[in-house]
Amino acid sequence: MSKSQESSLRGTGKPASKSRRSLLIGGVAVGGVAALAGRLWQLQVTQGSEFAGQAEANRTRSIAVPPVRGLIFDRGGTQLVRNVPVFSIWATPADIAEDDAQRVSTVLAELIDGVPDEIELAISLGRSDPAEPIRVARDVARETALVVAERSLELPGIEIRDSTKREYSKGETFGAIVGFTGPIPAERAAEYARRGVRFDEDIGLAGVEKSFQSTFRGEDGRRLIEVDALGSEVRELAVTQPKSGKNIYLTIDADLQERATELLQRFLGDHGAGVAIILDPNNGDVLTMVSYPSFNNQPFAEGISSEEFERLASDPRRPLINHTISGLYPPGSTYKLVAAAGALEENVAEPSTSVECAGHLILPSGWVFYDWLLTGHGTVNLHRAISESCNVYFYNISGGNPYTEFKGLGERRLAQFGRSFGFGKPTGIDLPNEVAGVVPDHQWKTRNLDAPWVTGDTYQAAIGQGLVQATPLQLVNMYAAIGNGGTLFKPRIVDRIEDANGEVLEVPPVEDLGKVAVSATNMSLIGRGLVEAVNGSQGTGSRAKTSVVTMAGKTGTAEYSGPKDADGNPPSHAWFVGYAPADSPRIAFVVLIKDGGEGSFAAAPVARDLVELYFTGSVPPMRYVPLKAPNRASG
Amino acid sequence: MIDRPRPRPLDAAVVLSILGLIALGLITLARVGLPPSAGMDSQIVRQSVFALVGVCLFVLMSYSDYRALGMIAWVLFAISIVGLTLVLFFGVTRFGAQRWFLLGPVQFQPSELVKFTEIIVLARYFAKYQGEPIKFRVFAVSALIPALPIGLTLLQPDFGTAMIFLFVWFGIAFIAGARLLHLGAVGLLSVSAAPVAWFLMKPYMRERVVTFFDPTIDPLGAGYNVLQARIAVGSGGMWGRGGAGATQSQLEFLRVRDTDFIFAVIAEHLGFVGSMIVLSLFGVIFAYALTVAIRATDDFGRFMAAGVLVLLVFEVFVSIGMNVGIAPVTGITLPLMSSGGSSLVVTLIALGAVVSISLHRGLPMFNPPTRVGLPARARRIAAGIHERA
């Protein structure tokens, strides 16, 4: 090989320039390495602890451990709800990529027979706190849970958990009181979020479940776990146990409640509707509270079908409403004692003051106010007026008599005594949806009806008709006060609150809503009238008379505007309110037979059964004809 | 005069660096890959086999006269281009790109081979024009050499490898003395082509570019790997989190840990100190290749060494850069460390060539014959080809 050939291989052209250029490449390499080193210094040394924190946040997760919801018992300890273990399905939004959520939702919905859009919505709602799992299905069958678990690779972020659902016992009789739980209604989500309740939780939606939601709920525990990139738990790092919710013992006696329901049911059949309440007049404990017909709370807790709900919602008897506290009715003659107490207290009438009853009273304006007894009661004093329920007497002592120039109590004082007995505002019982009712006076009428108050309004108000509206609970509470000598209690529905170990945590105090502004003497005068009303020969409540106990009571026939019957009488609700034993009452009670006609016929016998049931402990035999379906003339 | 190749301390240093990086890569794969019981599916097993094969070829290459490569440059390039073409029709598709041939239990990636053959061909091409200023015609024709593999890899699609072909050509042309005017024009053209490239990009590529600038845009999707890699690297701190503490790697927050994000695994385990060790080992290799290029006694050797240097610098910078968030995610492997047989073997052969340039410096071609080399007849033919050129 020649020298020139060799040099051609070596390359002799401008080596210096090539070395310079090589060095430049070397410079680029040094620059690149320096850039990497600088960046590594920045990431690892300068920001190292920050990234270590992020890695820690990646690997650890604090998840809420839901507490066990508190239970509900009757006063004797009969369990009314249980927490039953179920499989539920939860999604952790952080583990589901946003563009994958739709697919995951679709796959999951197919497996659990759910709605893909609902699952996707829940996941997207959960993104506000993406590491916290949310529940997407409440109660799936074991087999379904297993299938979901098997396909976990297709379902990132989806897990099966053991949880519980509410299973109610005695739902037919306790449904309206106990209520039920369910998902948070959308419009209240923000409010619950503020209270630290997660949006996928079940909350109390009705009854005691609702009014004592925070008592039942308990407090979340937390688990700190280490997870891998798929969100699967690697190990548990720390755990704080949840605090179980508190248990509530109602004042209701389950046995009494069931039998009282039975009494109403056998009388009302499947066409009638009514209410029965038994209170302890000495402390306001509600022992029985029946609104018939009612609803079973179990289907609601499980998510009621729309057909079932439609059936309940369209029933004209409105079984979804607890009529004991949410139903408003004219109290009829049972309200006459307000006028009586007021007249005595204000010295408008003496016990001996007598009024001539001709069966009606005609005002100069031409309006005629009838007595229920068209032939008239003759000369009546307070005692007879109460026991025979003479309307004309109460017209006189309330609105006065333009002919005898007898000065009545007047609308203002009548309303004042009505309020004193607790009417016109909710009793404050710890149940949702209690209504206030109406104690009318001229202000109320002007404001609500834009019409002036007339004497006839006073007459109507005195006999519990016209504008007066009361709940059965308000009425029985008034009679409890009469029976106990004048103390109006806030009705108690919760007897005590215990923790999971049976330790009593709280006893809701007996709350005195105030002394009724009626002297004990006057109360006992009224009470004597009530005893006579049941036990006297002329008493309107004689059908309630029983050999078991001496009771005091009052009938009421509350007419309301509606289609008239074949004889042309307006429809009316039948009331019977009272207490027993008359001298030292242990119970106060009310029976309302809606659309039942006259109180003395429809309500009094049921009230007698109710009282006998309480004092004997057994359901008395059927001694009367059940309520007939109302026979109404068309138009 | 030295009559046969004899390694000097610098050569020994580069060999130790290479072995060190391979070993570190294997240790890392043992931590994050499938266990050896998975057989050839286990990255550590596969990589060990390739490392063994690669080291053998490295030694063989080192002691062979690199100038022989120049003689068969076009043949090698042609073969590798055929492979690159065939893979488009017969290759298997993984991660959305058709890059691999399936050869029994192993996969072969022709584009890795092209990285090296492109260097040989370009070195050979430019060596022909030694001593003359590079004319525009020569420069333009040289551009046709990378154009072919760039087109083929973009069809796979593999944007990152196409970029490598471009940079290697650019680097060798630069060393070979291409006029700065021409090079500047190419640079300007590339920049102005960027919008067109954006338009031609697949959606996933655009995502990668976007998430390179801000990975937090889609932290669970396209930006996930970038963010997690950054967290892994950063959380390593100064001294690393050791075996059990490296939760980013061990709990699999970090993905593609055996290839794209292998550096993040090392950085998390060994911290800044470990990162610097890796960078230093690569630094030794770079310095070596640079020295070889400068001291080369012929242009072919100089250009080849420079080409290998450009290739490795680019790969290391982009691969580590995407782990630390200063380069977009392109799927470029970390030389000598990432799991991937083709890359490891070809890188080792290329490094072997650089060592060969060092060892054969100043030695007359094939005379005396190297211990390891082509048969005499082949040598003669090869020499004939060379002389004609």
DSSP A233: E
And the tokens for A485?
């000598």
Q: Do B386 and A13 touch (CB under 8 A)?
A: no
How many other C-beta atoms lie within 10 A of the C-beta of residue A221? 16
- CB contact under 8 Å between B365 and A9, yes or no, is yes
A470 touches A499 (CB < 8 A): no
Other beta carbons within 10 Å of B249: 27
Q: What is the mean pLDDT of chain A?
A: 88
* CA distances from residue B20 to A539, B43, B57, B89, B345 in whole angstroms, order as listed: 112, 18, 17, 38, 16
A566-594 per-position pLDDT tens digit = 777 788 899 999 999 999 999 999 999 99
Contact A158, A91 (CB under 8 A): yes
Can you give B286-305 as a three-state secondary structure string?
HHHHHHHHHHCCCHHHHHHH
With a cut of 50, say whether residue A9 has pLDDT above it.
no
Cα angle for residues A336, A261, A435 (degrees, 5° grid): 50
CA distance, residue A8 to nearest chain B CA (Å): 8
CA B337 to chain centre: 11
Structure-block tokens of residue A455:
């004497």
CA distance B68 to chain A (A): 12
Interface-testing mutation among B204, B226, B251, B255, with chain A (most A C-beta atoms within 10 A): B251
Chain-chain contact of A1 with B364 (C-beta, under 8 angstroms): yes
CB A381 within 8 A of CB A474: no
Does pLDDT of A6 surpass 50? Answer: no
The pLDDT value given to residue A191: 83
The listed range with the strongest mean pLDDT (A69-83, A125-139, B89-103) is A69-83
> Quick one: pLDDT at residue B89?
85
Query: How do strand A72-73 and strand A247-250 relate by DSSP bridges?
Result: parallel
Q: Which of A6, A52, A59 sits opposite B251 (nearest CB)?
A: A59
Structure confidence by residue, pLDDT tens digits, A454-465: 999 999 999 999
As a whole-number percent, the residues of chain A with pLDDT over 70 amount to 96
Instruction: Reply yes or no on whether the pLDDT at A3 is more than 50.
Output: no
Q: Taking CB atoms and an 8 Å limit, are A33 and B286 in contact across chains?
A: yes
Give the model's confidence band at B356: pLDDT under 50 very low, under 70 low, under 90 confident, else very high. Answer: very high
Q: Is B6 exposed, middle or buried (0-12, 13-18, 19+ CB in 10 A)?
A: exposed
Write out chain A residues lying below 8 Å of B173, CB-based.
none
pLDDT digits (tens, 9 = 90+) for A382-421: 989 998 899 999 999 999 988 888 888 999 999 999 999 9
Under an 8 A CB cutoff, do A55 and B287 touch?
no
Complex ipTM tops 0.95: no
Strands A273-279 and A286-292 turn out to be antiparallel
How many angstroms separate the most distant Cα atoms in chain A? 158
pLDDT digits (tens, 9 = 90+) for A220-251: 888 888 888 777 788 888 888 999 999 999 99
Phi and psi of B21, rounded to 5°?
-65, -40
CB contact under 8 A, B237 and A1: no
Name the residue among B230, B251, B252 with its Cβ closest to that of A43: B230
pLDDT of residue A429: 94
In this prediction, residue A635 carries a pLDDT of 33
What confidence tier does B108 reach under pLDDT thresholds 50, 70, 90?
A: confident
pLDDT given at position A177 = 94
Are A35 and B233 in contact (CB < 8 Å)?
no
pLDDT band at residue B369 under the 50/70/90 scheme = very low
Integer Cα distance of A22 and A14 in angstroms: 12
Distance of alpha carbon A415 from the chain centroid: 29
Q: Looking at chain B, which residue has its C-alpha nearest residue A18?
A: B175
In a mutational test of the A interface, the residue from B126, B168, B183, B235 whose CB has the highest number of chain A CBs within 10 Å is B235
Mean pLDDT of A297-302: 89
Per-residue pLDDT tens digits for A80-96: 999 998 898 989 888 88
Q: Which of A13, A29, A51 sits opposite B235 (nearest CB)?
A: A51
Which tokens belong to A128? 């506000």
Mutant choice from A3, A9, A19, A100 vs B, greatest count of B C-beta within 10 A:
A9
CA distances from B8 to A291, A622, B14, B291, B361 (A): 104, 119, 10, 13, 12
Nearest residue, CB atoms, B294 vs list A22, A28, A51: A22
Are the C-beta atoms of residues A48 and B235 closer than 8 Å to each other?
yes
Q: What is the pLDDT of residues A506-561, one digit of tens each?
A: 999 998 888 888 999 999 999 999 999 999 888 888 899 999 999 999 999 988 88
Number of separate helices (H) and strands (E) present in chain A: 23, 23
A333-379 pLDDT tens trace = 999 999 999 999 999 999 989 999 989 999 888 889 998 888 989 99
**Model confidence pLDDT, tens digit, residues A424-433:** 999 999 999 9
**In A, which residues are within 8 Å of B175 by CB distance?**
18, 21-22, 25
> Which of A23, A28, A52 faces B235 most closely, judged by CB atoms?
A52
Q: Please answer whether residues A89 and A142 qualify as being in contact, where contact means their C-beta atoms are separated by less than 8 angstroms.
A: no
Q: Are B328 and B212 in contact (CB under 8 A)?
A: yes
Which of A3, A14, A22 is best to mutate for the B interface (most B CBs within 10 A)?
A: A22
Total CB pairs under 8 A between chain A and B: 178
Mean pLDDT of all residues in chain B?
A: 85
pLDDT value of position A633: 41
A234 with A227: CB under 8 angstroms?
yes
Rounded Cα distance between A236 and B376, Å, is 70
pLDDT at A264 over 90: yes
List of chain A residues whose C-beta atoms are within 8 Å of the C-beta of residue B298: 9-11
pLDDT score, position B10: 86
Beta-carbon neighbour count of residue A282 at 10 Å?
Answer: 17
Determine the pLDDT at residue A118.
87
Q: Which residues contact A63 (CB under 8 A, 6 or more apart)?
A: A131, A132, A133, A222, A223, A225
- Here the tokens at position A191 are 């409010």
